[in-house]
Structures are given as C-alpha cells and as structure tokens.
Structure 1
C-alpha cells in the first residue's frame, strides 16, 4: 500500500491555512495554522495541522518553542532537520524584524522610549541580562552591549566593565537595563546598590547614568523615576 505525507492540500479548501491567510490575512490565523504553513507537510500518520498542534502542545506554546534547540525539535516524531530548520529560520527572522523597527540612532527621551526599545527582546529571557545603552550628546544610541548574564550582584556587575565601553565609544551618557525572568520588575536591594555604585562612578568620570530600567512581563520600572538616580 502506498503511503504519503499529509499536505496542506489534504485539508478541505475552506479550512486550508494558506488560503485563509491570503483571503483573510495572517492575523486571522491561529498559532497552529501559522505553524502548519511553515511545516508544509505532516507525516504518513498525521496531518500537518495535527503535527503543528502536537509541536505547540509539547513546548507549551510559542514561548518555549522559539528558544528550542534543533535537537529538541527533531526529537519529536515526524519532525526532521528540514522542518526544524524552517521553524528556527522563521523565529530568527521574527527577532530580526523586531530589531529593525529601530535604527542605530534611536533617540531616548524618557524611560518609556527605552523600555519600548528593549522590551520585546528582554521580556522572554530566562536568565537576567545586564545590558548597557551608550548614548551621544543628543541622547541617541551609539552602541549597546550585554555586560553580564546571571543573577545581579553588586560585586559582579563592576562599574569598570560598564564605563570601559563608554570611554571607548566616547559616550556622553549611559542607560542600564536588566530583566527579571519572574516578570515582576520590582527592584531588589541588589538592584538599588548596583545603581548607586554606577551613579557615583559616573559622576567621577563625567559620564552620566541617565537611568537603570528593570524589564518585566510587559512592565518596567525606572530607578530614575523611583528616585534612586539624582
């Protein structure tokens, strides 16, 4: 008996994700349907929509799937290296398109501008990342750098690492950001201590720390607005 992989065309025409995308727009499709379009084919035992649904269920949605390694994806029955590569390429394009919204001369006028610039990139991180934005005299971003990854600690995030790059780039000021994987951006005592040390060093070097922003789940806290930066 001849077997074949289930294709999008095996689905009734009115229910085909690709046709619905063209007629109704991508925004009308579910995550399962969009994933099915990327996968293109199912396996000899299940339709492409069933496969897409199984993948999303395995990873508990897009949040974990987008960061999955190729080995984690290909471990699933019916998903080979070609399908895994298609998914990883799509996720990377999405990340790059988010970054394309802002060019290198993005201006920071207030904490909201800064949070908007980094929110989508940082809110999904599973570890704390301490990132510095280096600005020119017009408050435009001239460089960004991840200084540290891990739990924030005043003895680990050393001002030397923060201001070394500021001197190298001739930055006029700095904005620091880090994320709380818990989703709660409330500052810890360590966050406040790190901020105070950076403010003091900035004053001595003539490079102002404009703000330290903590990113949570669609929320942020500005330590400048909280009164910890004068």
Structure 2
C-alpha cells in the first residue's frame, strides 16, 4: 500500500529513481526542468495525475514559467489540482526569486550608458502587467542612491507631476535623475505622450538644477532610450 502511495507522485514516463526530488539531490537544482522544479513545489498531484503532470499542465496553460509567475491567484486556483495553499506557495516562491534578483543588485555599477539602466531595471519592470513609472536618483559619480515608483497606471502628462519626481530628488540630494517606465505590451516604442512627459520633466529639471539624464522605456527584455533617440 505504501509503495503504491509513493508511486502516485512519480511521473509515469520517468523511472522511480529519476523522481525530481532525487534528481535534485543527485545532480543539483540547475539540472532540473521547469516542470520538475514546479512538481517539487506542488508536492502532490491529484487522482490520475502526478505532481509532475500537473506541473506540465500548469506550464501549458500559462505558456511558460514566466506566465505561471505572472498568473493571478484566482487564475491559479482555477486550475484543477491547484488549491489555495498551492497557489500561495507558488506566489511566495516566485516573489522570493524576484527579491533575490533585486538583492543581488543593491550595489549597482556606475550608470553611464542607457544599457546600464536597462540591465539594472529590466528584471524588475519588463514583466509587469501595468505601467510603472520609476525614477532612479544618482549622485555626482552616477551611482544610484535611490529608487522610487512615482505612480502605477497609464502614462499621462496630467498624472506625472514634476514636483513628485524632483521633490524626491531634492530630498535625496541627487545630482541627476533617470526616469523609466514599462510598456506591458512588450514594445518599448515611445508614444507621443511618452515624449511629451520627457520634455516636461527635462524642463522642470533645468529649473531646479537637477538634470534629467534619460527616460528609458522597458519592453519585454528590450528597451529604448529617449536620449539615444534624440528626444532630449
């Protein structure tokens, strides 16, 4: 009876000795597939379906691991075999991964090029489902000394108030500011509103003596610098 119970969580097409847990211990987590790692988090499947098979179905439903990570709680619990507890544990695991990426960048390199800005912020912004307008505050040596999300929502010049951007810059004694926002569509091409906001912030920065170095738009793993594009 106990042997049958144990075999319920073993993928039908994978030998007993190649269970994900055993493979992780034997070979290390880096050698496991996305489905195998998810199966370890899920722990159990349901009747007629192993944890591994449930993980495969989860990936197929949302397209890939990124899709699973971005799924809302209600979307996860709509999947047969994913209850409240499993959905919460998945959210927690993905959030820990996100925080680990952020923690590894707490002492960023000097920001000198738009590519530096993109490398610093793409992991945080490229997969968000809403627009986030973020400011990086730099010292005279171009080190990032602070980061602030100014607002969440569609970019509009009536919403982005220069006072919010530069109030924070002044409070931090910043020498310059870099603004960023993401395009959830994945296409970082600037809109007319993006360009108008850039001009407004550039002009406001000149008035208060804090330079707007760039406005970078983040897409799906891609970016566009409005400075490089000649809009500043």
**TM-score scaled by structure 2?**
0.88
CA distance in 2, matches of 1:140, 1:87: 35
Match of 2:48 among 37, 42, 45: 45
Q: Which moved more, 1:77-86 or 1:154-163?
A: 77-86
Deviations 1:179-211 (A, max 9, x none): 112212122211111111111111110001011
**1:157 Cα deviation (Å)?**
1.2
Picking from 165, 182, 188, the partner of 1:162 is: 165
Q: 1:55 to 1:170 in 2, by over 3 A?
A: same
Would the aligned equivalents of 2:11 and 2:53 in 1 still touch at CA under 8 Å? no
Cα deviation, 1:132-184, whole Å, max 9, x if unaligned, reads: 01111221112111112222122221211111111122211100001112212
Question: 1:59: how far off?
Answer: 2.5
My pick for the range that moved more, 47-56 or 208-217, is 47-56
Farther-moved stretch of structure 1 (185-194 vs 71-80): 71-80
The farther-off stretch of 154-163 and 10-19 is 10-19
User: Alpha carbons of 1:129 and 1:9: their partners in 2 closer, same or farther (altered >3 Å)?
Assistant: closer
- From 214, 218, 225, the counterpart of 2:217: 214
RMSD of aligned alpha carbons: 2.3
- Normalising by structure 1, report the TM-score: 0.89
Aligned length: 229
Residue in 1 that maps onto 2:133: 130
Distance 1:101 1:81, change over 3 A: same
How far off its partner does 1:116 sit?
0.5
Counterpart for residue 19 of structure 1? 22
Partner of 2:145: 142
Mapped contact 1:180–1:216 kept (Cα < 8 A): yes
List per-residue Cα deviations over 1:81-136 (Å, max 9, x = no partner): 33223211210111011101211565312111110010011111112111101111
Unpaired runs of at least 5, structure 2: none
1:68 pairs with one of 62, 68, 71? 71
Greater shift in the superposed pair: 115-124 or 25-34: 25-34
1:225 aligns with 2:205: no
* Contact in 2 for aligned 1:36/1:48 (Cα 8 Å): yes
Unaligned runs of at least 5 residues, structure 1: none
Residue 7 (1) aligns with residue 1 (2):
no
Equivalent in the alignment of 1:95? 98
Moved more, 125-134 or 75-84: 75-84
Contact 1:8 1:40 in 2 (8 A): no
Q: Give the whole-Å Cα distance in 1 for the aligned partners of 2:11 and 2:55.
A: 15
- Shift in Å at residue 63 of structure 1? 2.6
Q: Distance in 1 between matches of 2:155 and 2:192?
A: 10
Quickly say closer, same or farther: Cα 1:9–1:225, change in 2 above 3 A: closer
